[in-house]
A and B are shown apart, each in its own frame.
Chain A
Amino acid sequence: MVKKQNDILSEQVKAIPPSAIRRFFDLANEMKGEVISLSIGEPDFVTPWGIREAGIYSLEQGYTHYSPNQGYMELREAISEYMIRRYSLSYKPAGEILITVGGSEAIDLVVRALLNPGDEVVIVEPCFVAYKATVVLARGIPVTIETTADNSFKLRAEDLEAAISDKTKLVMIGYPNNPTGATMSRDELSAVAEVLERHPDVMILSDELYAELTYTEEEHCSIASFPALFDRTIVVNGFSKAYAMTGWRIGYACGPDWIIGAMNKIHQYCIMSSPSTAQYAAIEAARNGDKVIQEMREEYNRRRRVIIEGCRQAGLTCFEPFGAFYAFPCIRGLGIDSDTFCERFLREKKVAIVPGKAFGSCGEGYVRISYAASLENIQEAMVRLSTFVQDLKNEGKDNR
């Protein structure tokens, strides 16, 4: 080779830094067995048996062929009914729903279907690690908005207004939020919707993977339910979180047919179609899964309260998250950054959590603790957190 390997790789790929979370997992993996992991962003539940059984049955019947590119019609119909039943959003199965390989693919497709090089995409941080990377890979320019604990990590209308320019193509919103657990009510979203109404050429991607894991009295509200925004919002959802189906890799996008059509164009050449077995399982989930979701939601909600109480008992300030399965307590004032906090917590107390910085620079000073773990593990981890914070405070005194 004449050229250096690094000169051969795409500039876009090189522009993406290695994952900050990855390093932690490697560390935790080395210590495997002895570590309590509250670091993973996936349900600890195994997929409910009724759903698994539907997948198995489809195999027994020999349904092992490609599905249509857009996904099985039965699944799109089941999703269409689900979207009406749960969120009062109406999408035609024929042209307005696309079945993807996880919500992840749907996010990538939206970005690639819409962006020209140099287009700006507004991203609300801290957020899921894939948003920025997909934008960069599509030669877009991420414009980040920082949210803060003071405002419960909600998106403020004025911040959105300030971030939008005449180059803005897309705004990505993700509530309930990974990593903060923040949610936004209809009222809070309506201020955001007003801003977006003033910018009719800006498209909206609403990542609602955690919609079912909302613990407020008021149910999850989608930004797509604002009539003025419906025609330019793509809702991304999936089966991973709500139904504990991460490994099946089924997600979907709902939106205007001209965008779904464009997304399908990319999807059919890159992916062909989503896995068939998983789609059969997903049909069962979408049709008959409301009750199992509810049971898991109630269990998460109880753990949520235990973990928030645990963080506060340990002496950390923690705003109350009402969605997903994460707490995002503040670790400022202990004299170390979130990277060091997590690394030392792992080495010294054998509990794995994730530094907030991994989800955007404004996440520094926070850590993400997942409560997708057994109650016993959560309780034990909280005891260790408490002693760890005490250790840090004692060190602080010694150094004075």
Chain B
Amino acid sequence: MLDRYELLRLIEHNARLTQPELAVMLGTTEEEIAAELDLLHKEDIILGYTTVVNWEKTKRESVTAMIEIRLMPQRDQGFDKIAQHLYRFPQVSSCYLMSGGFDLMLIIEDSTLREVASFISNKVAPIEGVVSTATHFILKKYKGNGVIFDDKPIDRREAIIL
């Protein structure tokens, strides 16, 4: 029996595994893998495939910003309406409703200081219901998407009889 959670965990870490490879690794047939992936797409469980990029290694100057937003809840709609308004901007790569000292967390990736500043002052702050914002820029990425950046595995095993 194909374990869909194992399949998901596997491709979440390596989306490039081919269907024949997945079939062998999970002890099943290519047909079953194809059918399950199809189903996972249809059920909106798999939403897309991305690549983990270490932008710092490229020549490109870019910043990642995390924006905390405090909101005044709106009648009948809670925070969903403002969240929707904000996450529709393509430069917002992630948007979360949070517990704790603020309400929404937006993440903007591969941007510039100027773009982020203008986004906040022109698009976020003027929205009715936004009480305040606090923007944090990422200085260095150590780990993301479960991947440790700058961490090439080294095989330290020695020759030994066993």
- Report A301-330 CB contacts with B as 1/0, cut-off 8 Å: 011011001000000000000000000000
Give the chain A neighbours of B6 by CB distance below 8 A: 298
Give the chain A neighbours of B24 by CB distance below 8 A: 305-306, 309
In contact, B10 and A40 (Cβ under 8 angstroms) = no
In contact, B157 and A40 (Cβ under 8 angstroms) = yes
Using A25-B159, A128-B162 as known contacts, list a sample of 8 further A-B pairs with CB atoms less than 8 Å apart, ordered by residue number in A: A37-B155, A41-B162, A42-B160, A42-B162, A178-B162, A303-B25, A305-B24, A309-B24
In contact, A305 and B160 (Cβ under 8 angstroms) = no
Tell me the complex Cα distance, A40–B157, Å: 8
Q: Which residue of B lies closest to A129 (CB)?
A: B161
Tell me the complex Cα distance, A173–B159, Å: 26
In the assembled complex, how far is the CB of residue B118 from the closest CB belonging to chain A, in whole angstroms? 41
Give the chain B neighbours of A298 by CB distance below 8 A: 6
Count of chain B residues with a beta carbon within 8 Å of a chain A beta carbon: 14
Question: Looking at chain B's contact residues, is the secondary structure mostly helix, strand, loop, or mixed?
Answer: loop
Please provide the chain A residues from 1 to 60 with a CB less than 8 Å away from any CB of chain B in the complex. Answer: 19, 21-22, 25-26, 28-29, 37, 40-42, 44
Please provide the chain A residues from 305 to 362 with a CB less than 8 Å away from any CB of chain B in the complex. Answer: 305-306, 309
Tell me the complex Cα distance, A309–B162, Å: 25
- Report B128-162 CB contacts with A as 1/0, cut-off 8 Å: 00000000000000000000000001010101111
Tell me the complex Cα distance, A65–B10, Å: 43
Give the chain B neighbours of A21 by CB distance below 8 A: 161-162
Interchain Cβ contacts under 8 Å between A and B, 24 examples? A21-B161, A21-B162, A25-B161, A29-B159, A37-B155, A37-B157, A40-B157, A40-B160, A41-B160, A42-B160, A44-B155, A128-B162, A129-B161, A129-B162, A130-B162, A302-B10, A302-B25, A302-B26, A303-B25, A305-B24, A305-B27, A306-B21, A306-B24, A306-B25
Tell me the complex Cα distance, A29–B159, Å: 8
In contact, A42 and B161 (Cβ under 8 angstroms) = no
- Report A106-134 CB contacts with B as 1/0, cut-off 8 Å: 00000000000000000000001110000
Tell me the complex Cα distance, A129–B160, Å: 12
Tell me the complex Cα distance, A130–B162, Å: 8
Give the chain B neighbours of A306 by CB distance below 8 A: 21, 24-25
Residue of B21, B25, B155 with most chain A CB atoms under a 10 A cut-off: B25
Give the chain A neighbours of B26 by CB distance below 8 A: 302, 305
Chain B contact residues, CB within 8 Å of chain A: 6, 10, 21, 24-27, 153, 155, 157, 159-162
In the assembled complex, how far is the CB of residue B5 from the closest CB belonging to chain A, in whole angstroms? 10
In the assembled complex, how far is the CB of residue B30 from the closest CB belonging to chain A, in whole angstroms? 12
* The 7 A-B residue pairs with the shortest CB-CB distance in the complex, in nearest-first order: A25-B159, A302-B25, A41-B162, A19-B161, A21-B161, A309-B24, A40-B157
Chain A contact residues, CB within 8 Å of chain B: 19, 21-22, 25-26, 28-29, 37, 40-42, 44, 128-130, 178, 298, 302-303, 305-306, 309, 374
Tell me the complex Cα distance, A21–B21, Å: 32
Q: Which residue of B lies closest to A25 (CB)?
A: B159
Tell me the complex Cα distance, A130–B6, Å: 37
In contact, A28 and B159 (Cβ under 8 angstroms) = yes
Tell me the complex Cα distance, A303–B160, Å: 22
Give the chain A neighbours of B10 by CB distance below 8 A: 302
In contact, A26 and B157 (Cβ under 8 angstroms) = no
Tell me the complex Cα distance, A126–B26, Å: 29
Tell me the complex Cα distance, A309–B160, Å: 28
In contact, B161 and A22 (Cβ under 8 angstroms) = yes
Tell me the complex Cα distance, A298–B5, Å: 12
